[in-house]
Amino acid sequence: MKRWMAAALGAALVTSSIGCSAGSEKAQPTASKDKKVVLRFATGNVGKDSMSEVVTKLLDKFKAENPEVEIVVEGAPGGFELANKIKIDVASNNTPDVFTYWRPDPNLGMDKFIEAGAIANLDDLRKDPDIKDLFDDSAWKTATVNGVVRAMPMITFYNPLLINKEILDKLNLKVPQTWDELLNVIKETKKNGYIPWGVSIIPAKSGTIERPMNYVMYRMLGYDKVNKLMAGLEPFNTPEVITALERVRELTTGYMADDASVVEDSVIYAKYINTGKVVMTLDHSSAIMKITPEVQKKFVSVDFPLIPGGVDKEKTIVKDLTTLVYASSKAYEDPIKKPYVIKFLKLFSGKEAGKMYTEIAGNPIPMRGVDIDPTKVTPLVKESSLMAEKAPGVFWMGKVMDNTQRDKVWPLLAEYWLGKYTANELAVKLDEAYKK
């Protein structure tokens, strides 16, 4: 079975203890039966979603194998709340012993946590016989910062273009394979009362606001050029970039739900996508599981088309690690906690966990050699995952941005969806956003 990749986060604020039976007959060199070792575990997966179910199963397994350890779960409702929690914990020198989090990219704050000395050096784990051959070089590259391994890979993601074929069939439209066909689908479905894009454009809470733009910019300008733009190394106000922004406008402006600027992604799925009103989604792959099984049957996965006049000559797909498991430097340097931290990291990044991430939560994984039961994966997940595996991968354009840049740029993208700017005006605004 080919390996599967992807990502997921989200849930409700909760702090709870995962209880453990008092004592064990096995000899435990690092803990006495009278005094438990306590590990604090922070995660966004503590609600009723499928990833939370997997996390609970893994915690139960850890508890059964290590009854002398008490796991205190510190949950945060959704990705942004988790980021704020870890930020506060690091600032107060109270980093959780282990926690799940995104890639160590600047825009997600992990670089600052590492600079603060809060994140463990896991170079020794990469050499561990159980781990050293489990991931490919791409996964290790993402998990490594300045030559040091900082996390264990858990889940990968890709950004699939999903189209409700049932809607196209009703309107006698074919599934778009070219740029012109894609634009025609958008215009015709809008004219017939459908919502072309299932997207939230709340800047601070949307996970979809920039994804169509990401593909258009890559197709028009190429991966390297776009990354220089998003890192603030080159100006936006140039003819070639303005042309690319015009293509973005053609594809997106005015083609979302009327309330897209006030409702979050979860509401978009419940109110529009799962009721058959949305034509297309372009979200991270784990979001496929937000679509009900019945509605999934109506969707097909499509390669984002090349654009005439663009630099890209090959249909690439955005994909990377999305969720990793980290340890605090304090816990990793503690001789009593360290053996359990290692067990925890190996459990959450191992093959057994990977199998559950895919079969239960529908997430693609970076682990090699995991035997996935194809009957446990929905056809849409299977179809889009195979498409992602075949296509050359590129990183998300936001990967090179820091939080300050993103906080300035994302609101401009929201206003662009609403038609507030021309391409020329947006180029000027973007250059202003990157001024020091």
E strand or H helix that includes residue 18:
strand 14-18
Q: What is the identity of the amino acid at 213? A: M
Q: In the prediction, which pLDDT does 38 show?
A: 97
In a domain, residue 128? The reply is yes
**d(C-alpha 298, C-alpha 167), whole Å:** 8
Q: In the prediction, which pLDDT does 79 show?
A: 64
Kindly state whether residues 61 and 89 are assigned to the same domain.
yes
In a domain, residue 324? The reply is yes
Query: Which pLDDT band holds residue 266 (cuts at 50, 70, 90)?
Result: very high
In a domain, residue 312? The reply is no
Percentage of the chain beyond pLDDT 70 is 92
Query: Which pLDDT band holds residue 109 (cuts at 50, 70, 90)?
Result: confident
Query: 346-361: per-residue pLDDT in tens?
Result: 999 999 999 999 999 9
Q: In the prediction, which pLDDT does 15 show?
A: 35
Helix 239-252 with 211-221: angle, nearest 10 deg = 140
Q: In the prediction, which pLDDT does 435 show?
A: 87
Q: In the prediction, which pLDDT does 137 show?
A: 87
**Over 90: is that where the pLDDT of 182 sits?**
yes
Assign 98 to helix, strand or coil. strand
Q: Which residue has the higher pLDDT, 206 or 108?
A: 206
> Average pLDDT, stretch 251-258?
98
SS (H, E, C) 41-61: EEECCCCCCHHHHHHHHHHHH
Q: CB of 276 within 8 A of CB of 269? A: no
- Kindly report whether the global pTM for this prediction surpasses the value 0.85: no
Q: In the prediction, which pLDDT does 386 show?
A: 87
Q: In the prediction, which pLDDT does 108 show?
A: 77
Q: In the prediction, which pLDDT does 402 show?
A: 83
CA 308 vs CA 220, 236, 281: distances in Å: 8, 20, 22
Q: Which of 261, 300, 279 has the alpha carbon at shortest distance from 187? A: 279
> Average pLDDT, stretch 91-119?
93
Kindly state whether residues 46 and 85 are assigned to the same domain.
yes
Q: Order the strands of the 278-282 sheet from edge to edge.
A: 195-197, 278-282, 161-164, 299-302
Kindly state whether residues 67 and 87 are assigned to the same domain.
yes
Mean model confidence pLDDT for the chain: 90
Kindly state whether residues 327 and 276 are assigned to the same domain.
no
Q: In the prediction, which pLDDT does 5 show?
A: 30
Kindly state whether residues 31 and 63 are assigned to the same domain.
yes
Helix 211-221 with 223-230: angle, nearest 10 deg = 120
**Over 80: is that where the pLDDT of 8 sits?**
no
Query: Which pLDDT band holds residue 204 (cuts at 50, 70, 90)?
Result: confident
Q: In the prediction, which pLDDT does 78 show?
A: 65
In a domain, residue 106? The reply is yes
- β-strand partners of 156: 321
> Average pLDDT, stretch 72-95?
90
Kindly state whether residues 152 and 96 are assigned to the same domain.
yes
Span of 3-12, 282-291, 358-367, 415-424 with lowest mean pLDDT: 3-12
Q: In the prediction, which pLDDT does 12 show?
A: 31
Q: Burial-class residue 358 by CB neighbours within 10 Å (0-12, 13-18, 19+).
A: buried
In a domain, residue 310? The reply is no
**d(C-alpha 6, C-alpha 365), whole Å:** 6
**Over 60: is that where the pLDDT of 200 sits?**
yes
Kindly state whether residues 266 and 151 are assigned to the same domain.
no
Strand residues in 93-141 grouped as ranges (E): 98-101
CATH code where residue 141 lies? 3.40.190.10
Q: What are all long-range contacts of 109-112, with beta carbons under 8 Å and residues at least 24 apart? A: 109/83, 109/403, 110/145, 110/150, 110/326, 111/145, 111/402, 112/87
In a domain, residue 138? The reply is yes
Query: 314-332: per-residue pLDDT in tens?
Result: 999 999 999 999 999 999 9
**Over 50: is that where the pLDDT of 260 sits?**
yes
**Over 60: is that where the pLDDT of 70 sits?**
yes
Parallel, antiparallel or unpaired: strands 98-101 and 69-75: unpaired
Kindly state whether residues 39 and 128 are assigned to the same domain.
yes
Question: How many residues make up the chain in this entry?
Answer: 436
> Average pLDDT, stretch 404-417?
94
Range of the domain at 58: 14-158+320-383
Q: What is the identity of the amino acid at 189? A: T
Q: Which of 180, 160, 162, 347 has the alpha carbon at shortest distance from 251? A: 180
Domain count, the chain: 2
> Average pLDDT, stretch 222-246?
97
Q: In the prediction, which pLDDT does 178 show?
A: 98
In a domain, residue 308? The reply is no
Kindly state whether residues 175 and 266 are assigned to the same domain.
yes
Q: In the prediction, which pLDDT does 389 show?
A: 83
Span of 242-256, 343-357, 386-400 with lowest mean pLDDT: 386-400
Query: Which pLDDT band holds residue 403 (cuts at 50, 70, 90)?
Result: confident
Query: 284-310: per-residue pLDDT in tens?
Result: 998 998 999 999 999 999 999 999 999
In a domain, residue 82? The reply is yes
> Average pLDDT, stretch 15-25?
35
Kindly state whether residues 169 and 266 are assigned to the same domain.
yes
Q: In the prediction, which pLDDT does 26 show?
A: 39
Kindly state whether residues 98 and 229 are assigned to the same domain.
no
Kindly state whether residues 152 and 181 are assigned to the same domain.
no
Q: What is the identity of the amino acid at 375? A: T
